[in-house]
Amino acid sequence: MIEREAAQGGERNINNPEAWKEICEEIEGRKGIWEFETNEKKLIKDYLVGDFDVHEWLDNEAKDAEVILTIHVDEENKAAEYALGTWGDDLDYGIENRVYQEDDYEGVIEWLNKIAQEEEE
Q: What is the largest CA-CA distance in the chain?
A: 44
**Going edge to edge, which strands form the sheet with 67-74?**
25-26, 33-38, 67-74, 79-86, 101-103
Question: pLDDT at position 27, please?
Answer: 92
pTM: 0.80
The domain locations on the chain are: 18-120
Question: pLDDT at position 11, please?
Answer: 47
13 falls in which pLDDT band (50, 70, 90)?
Answer: very low
Per residue in 22-80, pLDDT (tens digit) is 999 999 988 899 999 999 999 999 999 999 999 999 999 888 888 999 999 999 999 99
